[in-house]
Amino acid sequence: MDQEITVVLLEKSSTGELREIDRRRWSRTMIASLDHVNYLVFNGREYETLEGRLNVDHGHLELLLVPMQT
């Protein structure tokens, strides 16, 4: 059984536009940690995780994020 899945990070702008900011393989441990976090840091920027969606057609997990105001 595959121990990794591709995760796509999607940034939602204040206007509602979605932009892919990252796509990479995540381990099963990293995926499981999503049960315990509300925020993640990518490229030094903090994001709130809004929701996740398993895209079966494309075989990846999509995470919807909004940037935190600094």
Write down the pTM of the prediction. Answer: 0.90
Q: What is the pLDDT along the chain (70 residues), one digit of tens a residue?
A: 568 999 999 999 989 999 999 999 999 999 999 999 999 999 999 999 999 999 999 999 999 999 998 6
The DSSP bridge pattern shows strands 60-67 and 45-55 to be antiparallel
> Which pLDDT score, from 0 to 100, does residue 69 have?
82
Residue spans of the domains in the chain: they are 4-67
CATH class of the region 4-67: alpha beta
